[in-house]
Amino acid sequence: MGKRLKGFDVTVKDVSRAYGSFKALDDVSIEIRKGEFFSLLGPSGCGKTTLLRIIAGFDSPDNGVVLLDGKDILPLPPDKRQVNTVFQSYALFPHLSVYENVAFPLRLRKVPAAKLDAKVRDYLHLVQLDNHMDKKPSMLSGGQKQRVAIARALINEPSVLLLDEPLSALDAKLRQNLLVELDHLHDQIGITFIYVTHDQSEALSVSDRIAVMNQGKVLQIGTPYEIYESPATDFVARFIGETNLFPAVVKQCVPYEDYYMTTLDIPALGTEIKVTDYDNLAVGQHVSFTVRPEKLKITGHQPTRVGKDINLFRGIVEEPIYSGFQSKYYVSLENGTVIKVIQQHANYMDEGPDIDWKDQVFVSWSAEDGYIVEVVDS
Amino acid sequence: MNSHIQEKRGRRLGITYSAPMGLWLTFFFLVPLCIIILYSFLKKGLYGGVEWEFTLTAYRQMLNPNFMRVFLRTLWVAALSTVITITLALPCGYAMARSRHQVMWLALVIIPFWTNSLIRIYAWIAILSSEGFVNEALKALGVIGESLPLIYNQGAVITVLIYMYIPFAILPLFTTIDKFDFQLLEAARDLGASKPESIFKVMIPNIRSGIITAVIFTFIPIFGAYTVPLLVGGKDSYMIGNIIVDQVTKTRNWPLASAFSLVITVVSTIGVIWMMTSTASERARLKAPAQVVDANGGIT
């Protein structure tokens, strides 16, 4: 079906919303582009759902503006906004059949019968529910309910589709499948998707851009790659994926090729490490250092040749976790600090199981694989 | 192991479980009902009671235009009071379900039951009578010079009936609205419904069972009302309930009283059946959406 609709851009500017003394949104500004798959990602209570409800019209901000295609939509009630929502619990009308649920918006607009019927069938086909149109929502599986909710939200041909944790009630496997379907649907229809989730892997896998939120503030906006590889704050680094994060002090910073080779003193590791950075940091500056577990190498024997930008540690495997495609090790370094290492089992004959509990191992990473997250003032 | 043995056992247990209820209904409902049916076809005894002789006299007497007028009035009063009661009870139930102080509101609805209903009706007399609270207050404020006829008329009967039966409407409405998923209203608004549209197209259909229960709980007792029209009604407030009492205690025409009782039972039963079938047909309608398209298409 060659259905292609027009997406609008959404501008959220200086939006704040407090419930009593609790600041759900604290001066939030986000610019969402036309046709983008944009995710609001954060733990529960971070304000992402409040922001979605403000865009939908179910809540209003204490101050700030929300523009849809450049026009202020805050004075409009929910039914007058070119925005539709897929609710977390689907909110299907239990007294209506699948067909009537999807037809509901058209019946309100008194669309003529023949046109209505064609359109409802069209959208039911889009979400592959042609054979279930006579069923009541209670007779559907979670995935099917979800599809009804999507068809019902799209039939008004909105410019922006809001999705409030639409997959959270489904099991992991189905979630993956539906996520891919959602992504296809987004590519097919072309409207702006604003996707609220607390699941970082969901957000990383489908979004064009992500806003990471915590405690009512937007911490970082960027592509999944930017968010994962260059987190703006400690929180982002910890919340997205897994990481090893340590406070550190800059010891030395010298130009190296087109960036700077920085030496950090990390008390937790009991030693100095090397990391490359684009900024020339002042000596004595307090920063956070992070290195992703999958960027660490783990070996049972001491590497023979160690480059000058390699950080090498000796440790004991405290907890090996084998999960098929990879193994995760909690390695206790000599000074007691525990560091996480993930080893991919990319080849059949990989040496996976030969590192075992209580084995002595060597953990190493290149200076280029570490990352300085946040410059801590004071 | 094998399911149909279990099913059989289950069915037998079902009978065991329902036996107490069955016995109760048989002795306290079915048997008295049969006696009433029987009496209505017998000849009236001279000083009350019946003579064992089959006759249709009671039913012939019932067709008397005076009685017919009372019958129609009863129907009208019951219908009007029920409609007003439900209209008032719906927003009450809604407010209670959305309130943080549900227990307090529930207590306030139930507390009047601690007082005998007769006493509460007499309280209304104190409020509405010509020297009652309302008239005295209005006179003191200088709004009126002479007392308004607030009591011993149809209006007083309907007012007090609504007062008496509104808790029976509020409680079932409250329970169903409390279970209603209010996000459905947001979904409706999101999909383009105005506020009233979201209430009438999404909420009302979903709390249908509560509305039906509320209608049955108010209409049936009001249809058989007897004390309220007697105490606060006037000459033309007589209802079927009053006729039955008169026929038993004054005129001593037990067969006629039985026939009128049957009328109340039949009207109530018809009401219940009508409500039940209308829900059933509603369900059937939803199973055939394609037909609805045509049916609604003609109208819109």
Mean pLDDT (whole number) for B82-95: 96
Per-residue pLDDT at A138 exceeds 80: yes
Q: Is the confidence at residue A228, as pLDDT, over 90?
A: yes
Mean pLDDT of A112-128: 93
pLDDT tens digits along B148-172: 888 899 999 999 999 999 999 999 9
Please report residues of A whose CB lies closer than 8 A to that of B183: 87, 89, 91
- B205 has a chain A CB within 8 A of its CB: yes
Q: Which residue of A has its CA nearest to B300?
A: A110
* Cα–Cα dist A36/A191, whole Å: 7
pLDDT over 60 (residue B298): no
Domain B45-279 has CATH 3.80.30.20: no
Instruction: Count CA atoms within 13 Å of residue B160 on its CB side.
Output: 31
User: Considering only A341-355, B52-66, B246-260, which range has the smallest mean pLDDT?
Assistant: A341-355
Sign of CA dihedral B13, B19, B22, B24: negative
Q: Is the confidence at residue B219, as pLDDT, over 90?
A: yes
- Bridge partner residues of A286 (DSSP): A249, A376
Partners of A91 on chain B (C-beta within 8 Å) are 181, 183-184, 186-187
Q: Chain B partners of A57 at a C-beta cutoff of 8 Å?
A: 189-190
B203 in contact with chain A, both atoms CB, cutoff 8 A: no
Average pLDDT, chain B: 87
Which of the pair, B61 or B16, is modelled with greater confidence? Answer: B61
Q: Least CB-CB distance to B190: which of A78, A89, A136?
A: A78
Choice among A258-267, A342-351, B245-254 with the minimum mean pLDDT:
A342-351
Assess A104–B contact: CB distance below 8 Å, yes or no: yes
Can you give the pLDDT at residue A168? Answer: 85
Render pLDDT for B166-207 as a digit per residue (tens, 0 to 9).
Answer: 999 999 999 999 999 999 999 999 999 999 999 999 999 999
Distance from CA of B280 to the nearest CA of A (A): 13
Residues B300 and B298: their CA atoms lie apart, in Å, by: 6
pLDDT above 80 for B83: yes
Each residue's pLDDT tens digit, A285-320: 899 999 999 999 888 888 777 777 889 999 999 988
Q: What tens digit of pLDDT does each residue of B96-118 get?
A: 999 999 999 999 999 988 999 99
List the beta bridge partners of residue A84.
Answer: A161
**C-alpha A54 chain-centroid distance:** 20
From the list A84, A99, A109, which residue is nearest B289 (CB)? A99
Given this model, what pLDDT does residue A240 score? 92
Which of B193, B208, B292 faces A79 most closely, judged by CB atoms? B193
Q: Provide the residue ranges of all domains of chain B, joining segments of one domain with +.
A: 45-279
Provide the mean pLDDT of chain A. 90
Q: What percent of chain B has pLDDT over 70?
A: 89
What pLDDT does residue A300 have? 84
pTM of the model: 0.81
pLDDT at residue B128 above 60? yes
Model confidence at B271, pLDDT cuts 50, 70, 90, reads confident
Q: Which chain A residues are within 8 Å of B190, Cβ to Cβ?
A: 56-58, 78-79, 83-85, 153
What is the per-residue pLDDT for B2? 52
Q: Give the containing element (helix H, strand E) for A64.
A: strand A63-68
Chain B contacts in chain A segment 132-171 (CB below 8 A): 133-134, 136, 152-153, 156
- B197 — contact with chain A (CB < 8 Å)? yes
What's residue B142's pLDDT?
87
- On chain B, the residues whose CB falls within 8 A of the CB of A139 are none
Torsion of CA A198, A58, A160, A104, to 10 degrees: 110
Task: Give the count of Cβ contacts less than 8 A between chain A and B.
Answer: 94
Mean pLDDT calculated for residue range A53-62: 95
State the ipTM, two decimals. 0.84
Nearest CA in chain A to B184: A91
Residue with tokens 């986000």: A30
Using the 8-state DSSP alphabet, how is residue B30 labeled?
Answer: I
pLDDT at A172: 84
Contact indicator for A249, A286 with CB cutoff of 8 Å: yes
pLDDT of residue A323: 86
Angstroms from A42 CA to nearest CA on chain B? 22
Residue of B nearest to A87 (CA): B187
* A152/B194 CB distance under 8 A: no
φ/ψ region of A353 (left if φ > 0, alpha if ψ in -120 to 50, else beta) reads: alpha
> Does B299 have pLDDT greater than 80?
no
Q: Please enumerate in sequence order all residues whose Cβ is within 8 A of that of A368, keeping only pairs 6 or more positions apart, or say none.
A: A276, A309
Rounded to whole angstroms, the Cα distance separating A244 from B81 reads: 72
Interface touch A85/B187, C-beta < 8 Å? yes
Q: Which of A75, A64, A79, A87 lies closest to A11 in space, CA to CA?
A: A64
pLDDT at residue B288 greater than cutoff 60 = no
Residue B297, pLDDT > 50, answer: no
Contact flag B187-A87 (C-beta cutoff 8 Å): yes
B190 and chain A in contact, CB less than 8 A: yes
Higher per-residue pLDDT: B3 or B126: B126
pLDDT at residue A1 greater than cutoff 60 = no
Residue B38: the pLDDT is: 94
The alpha carbon of residue B285 is apart from the nearest alpha carbon of chain A, in Å, by 10
At B291 the pLDDT is: 39
Q: Which residues contact B64 (CB under 8 A, 6 or more apart)?
A: none
Residues with Cβ within 8 Å of B178's Cβ and at least 6 positions away in sequence, in order, are B96, B97, B102
User: Mind listing the pLDDT tens digit for each residue in A209-222?
Assistant: 999 999 999 999 99
A325 confidence band (pLDDT: 50, 70, 90): confident
Encoded tokens for A306:
């160690």
Which residues in chain A are contacts of B283 at CB distance < 8 A?
none
pLDDT given for residue A177 in this prediction? 87
Measured in whole angstroms, how far is the alpha carbon of residue A294 from the centre of its chain? 19
What would the pLDDT profile of A247-292 be if each residue is shown by its tens digit?
Answer: 999 998 888 888 889 999 999 888 889 998 888 888 888 999 999 9
pLDDT of residue B191: 95
Asked if the C-beta of A78 comes within 8 angstroms of chain B's C-beta atoms, the answer is: yes
**Closest CA in chain A for residue B294:** A113
More confident residue, B4 or A370: A370
Say what the pLDDT of residue A115 is. Answer: 94
Across the interface, which of A83, A113, A136 has its CB nearest the CB of B294?
Answer: A113
Amino acid at B226: Y
Q: Provide mean pLDDT across the span A156-182.
A: 89
Using a CB-CB cut-off of 8 Å, the residues of chain A touching B204 are none
B196 contact residues in A (CB cutoff 8 A): none
State residue A207's pLDDT score. 95
